[in-house]
Structure formats: structure tokens, C-alpha cells
Amino acid sequence: MTVTAGQAVATLASPHATTRRYVMCAPKYFTVEYSINPWMDPGAPVDVDLAMLQWAELRRTYERLGHLVEVVEPQPGLPDMVFAANSATVIDGRVLGARFRAPQRAAEAEHFRRWFITRGYRNVVMPSRINEAEGDFAWTGRVLLAGSGFRTDPEAHAEAQEALGVPVVSLRLVDPRYYHLDTALFVLECGERAQIAYFPGAFSSGSRRVLERMFPDAVIADAADAACLGLNGVSDGRHVVLPAEATGLAAQLAARGYEPILLGISELRKSGGGPKCCTLELHA
Ligand code: ARG
């Protein structure tokens, strides 16, 4: 059989990691004392010490993989501040902050805005529409996939396109359990050959067709993968951090040459969060 150079690359190339920069915020003041998504039951006990251990393990995992982790100081009275992904979208040095739907989370946005200013970011814009940042925005390296339906306003998508100068593709979420885009979809590989994993059941039929068109070879997760928040994954292009229960998805990823890393996130899931929610990525 004759193999051309191009084919050889396509067949032999295995997923490769690139170094990432993440921002995290420890769950020091984590509780579930209000309910703003179907996962949150203020009556159910939460083990804060265990949440701290699970978060520390996530951070250690990133550092072990060679990624840079910066931390924002947690604030008393803001139990959801651990979900750093909701607080900014950062692409090519431009920062689009957040505007939360729930009043209980509103103050988080300003803490993160100040952190970016202190860190020397010059292009920091605050949104005028409800915008829960990477909770609803996923950067593929070419387009920004943008969710709406439960949290981020559809008008915030146009605002993000203008503020960040990147093309935005709007997607509509239809299942309240998957209230943020990052509970239903994540980017496995960024760039020219961008690849995603997603749970089709979380999207409207039109949005499913958009995703099929854009990513015909995507990893399709099933209802069990989604139900443990398995789509709240974090990939560096090779290693994919997932909730421990997402074994079906992990097997699919391993079959494609990725290295799944399964972590316990039981306490954060009681708030509707997982690895990705705790991880804001600085895209340069
Ligand atoms: N309790 C938080 C909320 O409902 C969880 C946020 C999870 N973050 C995420 N990126 N999905 O707002």
C-alpha cells in the first residue's frame, strides 16, 4: 500500500497536548445554600473539606501535566465563586467579563474583573447582557461556540463577537439539567482540526444540526455520560480530565488515542459543577 505524506500524518498523528494557562478559585466558602439549577438542593449536606480536597486534586493534576494554574482569592458569602469558568472569557489578551443571571452570584464578576486589571490585562470589557462566560462560551480556536436557553442571553453572543473579535456560533440548550453549554459540550482539540465531545439531547434540533455540520466526527456522549456531568471535561489536546463516573465517555476517548483522567467531583456536582466549571482558561 502506498501512503502519501499527508495520509501518514492523518493516520499516525495521535492527539498531542499543548501547555495551558488556567485560573481557579478554591472552594473555601463553598456551600449549596440557594438553588439556581436542578442539581442544587440546599437541604442536602455538602462536605466542604472534601470539596477542597477534590479541587486541590484537580489543580495538582493540571500542574502535573505541565499547565500553569493561577488562583483568585475566594470571598466569603460567594459560595459559587469556585466556578471560575463563569467569570470571564479570555481570547488573545482580550477579556470579556461576566454578568450573572442570579443575584446571589452577581458580585463574583467584579472580583474577577479586578483580578484581570491587577494582572495587567488592558482590554477588559464588562458585558451589558447576562453573560456567564465560559459556562456558555467554548473557544475552538476558530469560532466561539455560544450557549443560551437558561443563563447567557442570546444578545450576549453578539456582544461577545464584538468585544472579542471572534466569530460566534449560537447554540440553544433545551434541558434544564444542562443549563450551561459546558455541561453539554467541551472542546477536545483547539485549532485547525478542532474537535468536540457533546451530548445531543441537551440541544435544540436546529443546534444539533449545526453541530453535526461543523463537527461530523465529534465524540457523541450518551445520557449516562451527561448525567454525571461528564461533558464538563477539560482537555489539553491529549489528556482529558473528567468526572470519575464518566467511564463510557472515557472509553470512547481512549479508543481515539486520548488519555482520560478520572477525578472525584462529588461535592462540586451538588452545585451543578465539575472540572470545567472550576477552570477558566486563558486563551493566550
Ligand atoms: N451553582 C453554580 C450555578 O448554578 C454552578 C455553576 C457551574 N459552572 C459551570 N461552568 N457550569 O451557577
Q: Return the ligand 1 atom nearest residue 105 CA.
A: 12
- Distance between Cα 271 and ligand 1 center (Å): 7
Does residue 273 have its Cβ closer than 6 Å to ligand 1? Answer: yes
Instruction: Tell me which of 25, 67, 157, 180 is the catalytic residue.
Output: 180
Q: What is the CATH number of domain 16-283?
A: 3.75.10.10
Give catalytic status of residue 25 as yes or no. no
Does residue 252 have its Cβ closer than 6 Å to ligand 1? Answer: no
Q: Mind listing the pLDDT tens digit of every residue in the chain (284 residues)?
A: 344 444 444 444 689 999 999 999 999 999 999 999 999 999 999 999 999 999 999 999 999 999 999 999 999 999 999 999 999 999 999 999 999 999 999 999 999 999 999 999 999 999 999 999 999 999 999 999 999 999 999 999 999 999 999 999 999 999 999 999 999 999 999 999 999 999 999 999 999 999 999 999 999 999 999 999 999 999 999 999 999 999 999 999 999 999 999 999 999 999 999 999 999 999 98
- Distance between Cα 193 and ligand 1 center (Å): 29
Of all protein residues, the one whose alpha carbon is nearest to atom 1 of ligand 1 is: 271
Q: Among 58, 271, 276, name the best residue to mutate to test ligand 1's pocket (greatest count of ligand atoms within 8 A of Cβ).
A: 271
Q: Return the ligand 1 atom nearest residue 276 CA.
A: 10
Give catalytic status of residue 228 as yes or no. no
The pLDDT value given to residue 284: 83
Q: What is the pTM of this model?
A: 0.94
| Beta-sheet pairing, 259-263 with 239-243 | parallel
Does residue 277 have its Cβ closer than 6 Å to ligand 1? Answer: yes
Does residue 195 have its Cβ closer than 6 Å to ligand 1? Answer: no
- Distance between Cα 128 and ligand 1 center (Å): 20
Q: Return the ligand 1 atom nearest residue 179 CA.
A: 11
Q: Return the ligand 1 atom nearest residue 271 CA.
A: 1
The pLDDT value given to residue 210: 98
Instruction: Tell me which of 25, 190, 277, 278 is the catalytic residue.
Output: 277
- Distance between Cα 250 and ligand 1 center (Å): 23
Cβ(78)–Cβ(105) below 8 Å: yes
The pLDDT value given to residue 13: 67
Does residue 36 have its Cβ closer than 6 Å to ligand 1? Answer: yes
Q: Return the ligand 1 atom nearest residue 183 CA.
A: 11
